Structure 1
Amino acid sequence: MIENSPESAGPSRRTFLAGTAVAAGTAAVVGASGALAPDAAAAGHFPLPFQAERLRVLVTGDAGTGEKPQYAVTAAARRLHAADPFDVAVGLGDNIYEAGPNGPDDAQFRSKFEKPNTGLDFPWLMTLGNHDNTAIFPGDGGWLLRGDDEVRYHSRSRRWYMPSRYYSVELGVADFFILDLNPLAAYIPPFLSPEWEPGGHYMTRQARWLDKALAASSAPWKFVCTHHPYANNGPHGPAGDYDGLPAPLNGDAAKAFFERHVAGRAQFLLSGHDHSQQVLENVSGLRGTRQIVSGAAAKTVNKPSTKRFRARYENLHDRGFMALDVTPSTVGLTAYEVSPDRPRATKAFETSYRKN
């Protein structure tokens, strides 16, 4: 996500974003070729999918800085892993700050993912964020082909799991559906590109795939994972009102996608983008799907909540991560807060959900 600037800087940034979107010549910036297909050979490096009667999941987002706060968060996660091991992690995008990788062999993969996550040796289901698709300025989301470098890294890592830009993984008690909604929420929108534009080939294929995959899933629990949230009380705002920008930069197309293809079809929507942690429920438009935001694995917004959506828990000031404990009948969710100076996890919120 784009760094949240002081309130006084907001209007100029919005003007810049809107102006850039019009002037960039987006088809040339974004490119028109298709996304990478899944790499079946690379998937053989990982013990996925697998069948589990109990699943423990580490949930982080917006982590990839390679700086001290990220290390504090991963150190805290390692302590929990030593006491009660995680089976898998979900990385909710913005994996390589500030502007994404330069090829699949970029040293940033080591400095901003592998080294900070030393000892957290299990598959990481990775999601693409807007910073991972940077074109002109960090986080503009305007060079969607840059994200393919992260797909290619899948075959080079024992942790990083991203066989395609969007994909699903069956884990017994839960299925995870990793989406790429960047074409619908880019600050430099991909107009004039039949492949990437909101109604183009890529999003049409992804929507058809998701509809079929969710309908075919027999798992007790379904988690849809995206970088951009549908509902959000932080400064980035919700879909349809991202950053207070005018349409189409406000994520109107993302809002429509969520409502048409996700709402009511999965129990949980896990998102990052906003550097905060939020547990939101009864969100109008999601038809019972619960919105969880976990984007504080390296940065914070340190701003007050908008209180736009009812939150059971929210923290816009501290770094942290979440853990899921999944059984056939229940999902336990725990939110942890972490200080950069004390790499221990403080349990800040705990709840559980039971199958109807």
Structure 2
Amino acid sequence: MVKLPTWADVILVPLISLLLAAIFSAIVLLAIGQSPMEAMKVMVEGAVGSPYAWGYTLYYATSFMFTGLAVTVAFHGSLFNIGGEGQAQLGGLGVALVCLSINWPHWALALPAAMIGAALFGAAWAAIPAYLQAKRGSHIVITTIMFNYIAAALMIHILVNVLRPAGQMDPASANFPEGTNLPTLHEIPGLSLIFTKQVPANVTFFIALICAYLVWVLLWRTRLGYEIRAFGKSEKAAAYAGISSFKIIMVAMLISGALSGLMAINNVMGESGRLLQNASEGAGFIGIAVALMGRNHPVGVILAAILFGFLFQGGAELGLWTSIPIELRTVVQGLVILFTGALDQMVRMMLGFVFRPSLAKGAA
């Protein structure tokens, strides 16, 4: 297959994949007797048509950034971490235990402690599949999937039998102390001039951006990052160079699990103010699509996360204001994943025929 120019690989392939997903989504809408133009109008207005809409889109995008970065770090080490969902749920447990441990006087003190708790619990849940892969040869895909279900069952047990307050019916923890409430965008000086209404997006959005920068520094500006990428390219070559496979597998998965766990800061501490049963909100699985579409680069992950935040919020608006079923959001997400992931090579092959003459001329 022809190797595409960098700009085409980074920009053109994702854009064409999105266009194909949009075309097939329109066909699905027409098949059920709905107007694609009306659907697009509702989605755009509901997701990015106002600062209030942006507040919800950025809230969802924040969670997707964390899980997308988690998949990215593991992927560069040739590890396909599909356990972000379970790691995020355990991260939520870490947040809840920290927030409920003492009566925090201010969010600025509670936030660093909650971040440590979230990262430690997420990393710990990723450590077991990592060890099984490094020492026993168990496939990381299988073990991380299994641990998602174990995490879900464990969380139900803890919420029902351990953290649920007496007399409360729903499986959830007690409300966190008032001092743990994170400021939302409309409460931050300067941004309050733009976000004039209460929105769920909070300071965790900026933490996600910082994490994206730190992941970039780690992977492309540190020795450890070089070792992770070298191991991901060729395990045999990395071993010949003296890079420990056990070290890379463990470290990459621990960082990946910690990033997934940090996602819980956004929704458990920043939005819900207590630990609920489905603390991950499906962000663990969406993070896989975000990483694939973002070409496993932090900048691409940020942009892809915002796109999926748009789809998530826009899809919710479809369910509220039109007769289009809200499940269509899942269909659109699936088509985006299909064309940016499974059919990615098809788009590359089509572009290969376009760029082949120019590439051959340049080689000559």
- Considering Cα pairs closer than 8 Å and 6+ residues apart, tell me whether 1 or 2 has the greater RCO: 2
Question: TM-score, structure 1 length as denominator?
Answer: 0.23
Higher strand share: 1
Larger Rg: 2
Higher helix share: 2
